[in-house]
Structure 1
Amino acid sequence: MKIAVLNYTGSVGKTVIASHLLAPRLNNSQIFAIESTNETAGDLGLDIDQLRGEQFGQLFRDLLILDDAIIDVGASNIEDFLAHMSKYEDAHTEIDLFVLPVIATGKAQRETIKTVSALVALGVERKRIQVLFNRVDGPVEDDFLAILTYAEKTGEFIANPEVAVFENDVFELLAEQRTTIADVLADKTDYRQKLREADRKNKKLINQLTNMHSLQALAKPVNRQLDKTFMALIGNNIVNTLPTQENAHD
């Protein structure tokens, strides 16, 4: 399956969605980062191809021969990305799903609606445009009313409240440690025991060990929630996914 993660506005968690939600559940797909300025999945140690929006031709040729791919489109490159995609007849059909992360600010919701309109103008049909509610810290129906109302009114995209990633300290810790949930789940180190043995005067080591123990404590429940989000997002569109990361490492 080939999924593009994009939004006209920045800082809505596109790279988090690509790296932590999608990549481990899509056969560890190749990630294409269409980005020139901000953090990408490569900063977390994942294998990426970094391109600019105007290099859509190269991406298009790669997509023709791939079964699975994730395209993480940065806000600074989305204009070029969509403009160059429009030059190729029906190029959007090479992407199975367009995922639009949104957070609960007015600006982010307005820019998300703008992104929907741009995709619709290219000919992308409703079933291939889905909003993902990110950094959720309350009822989706209350915090994202503008998006839900617009989806119901226009019928141009899918806005399923179950496609949500909740606010959690784990994502900031992952960014600080330059790691992924999958790597944390695979790490069998007993950091609690290492803390017991550590020299309390070594503040740098203590901080590192407490961060890693916290990550381990947070990773499993967050991973289970991401499994549910993924299934709500993908539904029956994909059959042969890998086992969940938690089960894969048990």
Structure 2
Amino acid sequence: MRIAVVNLSGSVGKTVATSHLLAPRVPGAEIIAVESTNESAADLGLSVDQLRGEHFGKLFRKLLIARAAIVDVGASNIEDFLAELNKYDQAQAEIDYYVLPVVASGKAQRETIKTIEALAAAGVDRQRIRILFNRVDVQARDEFEAIFAYEKFSATFLANPDARVLESEVFDLLANRRLTIEAVLADQNDYRRQLRETDPHDQEQIERLSDLIALRSLARPVNRQLDQAFIALFS
């Protein structure tokens, strides 16, 4: 499975989608960040090949031989990426799915629709353009009315309301500690014992251990929710 995580809008959760949702559930996937300025999965400790948008030729060659890849296209490079996509005949076909994370702000929804239009114009068919609703409070249908209205109007993409990542402080904690959920769940250290044994005046260590304990407590239920989101996204 070869997936591109794209959106003309910034700060919609592309790195969250790549690092926490997709990478653990796409076995053997090479992670390629098309990014020059913003955070990528590399900042969370994952092995990442970093490119810029204008280096599409190198990316295209990688995709020709890759069985599994996740291409995280940063907002600063998305326009170059889309322009280069149109230069290579049928280049869009080398990517199985285009995943568009989106948050509920009006600006993000409008720019997501522009991204859908650009992908459709490049020849990407409806079945391969999938929406991932990010930072959902309760129900995606209530919070992303513009996206669902456009899906009904255009029939150029798929929007499953169950393909959602619920609002959670865990992602900010993970970013602060430069960790993935997968790494947290694999960590066998006894941080509660370490906290009990820590000098009560060592506030930095107390904060670090408290964050790690909170992360572990939050990670399991969030990971189960991400399992459900992944199934909904590709069903």
User: TM-score scaled to structure 2, two decimals?
Assistant: 0.99
Alignment correspondent of 1:63: 63
Measure the CA separation in 1 of the matches of 2:69 and 2:117.
Answer: 24
Residues 206-245 of structure 1 mapped to structure 2, 5 A cutoff: 206-235=206-235
Query: Secondary structure at 2:133's aligned position in 1?
Result: strand
**Aligned partner letter, 2:121:** A
Alignment correspondent of 2:42: 42
Alignment correspondent of 2:10: 10
Kindly state the Cα deviation for residue 119 of structure 1 after the two structures are TM-superposed.
0.3
Fraction of identical pairs, as percent: 59
Alignment correspondent of 2:100: 100
Kindly state the Cα deviation for residue 113 of structure 1 after the two structures are TM-superposed.
0.3
Q: How many residues are aligned here?
A: 235
**Aligned partner letter, 1:169:** E
Residues 113-152 of structure 1 mapped to structure 2, 5 A cutoff: 113-152=113-152
Long gaps (5+) in structure 1: 236-250
Measure the CA separation in 1 of the matches of 2:159 and 2:228.
Answer: 16
Query: Secondary structure at 1:53's aligned position in 2?
Result: coil
Measure the CA separation in 2 of the matches of 1:179 and 1:192.
Answer: 19
Query: Secondary structure at 2:224's aligned position in 1?
Result: helix
Cα distance change, pair 163–18 in 1 and its aligned pair in 2 (3 A): same
Measure the CA separation in 1 of the matches of 2:109 and 2:48.
Answer: 28
Long gaps (5+) in structure 2: none
Residues 150-189 of structure 1 mapped to structure 2, 5 A cutoff: 150-189=150-189
Query: Secondary structure at 1:72's aligned position in 2?
Result: strand
Alignment correspondent of 2:85: 85
User: TM-score scaled to structure 1, two decimals?
Assistant: 0.93
Query: Secondary structure at 1:141's aligned position in 2?
Result: helix
**Aligned partner letter, 1:56:** F
4+ runs of 1 displaced by more than 3 Å? none
**Aligned partner letter, 2:233:** L
Kindly state the Cα deviation for residue 144 of structure 1 after the two structures are TM-superposed.
0.3
- Aligned CA RMSD, in angstroms, stands at 0.7
Cα distance change, pair 20–28 in 1 and its aligned pair in 2 (3 A): farther
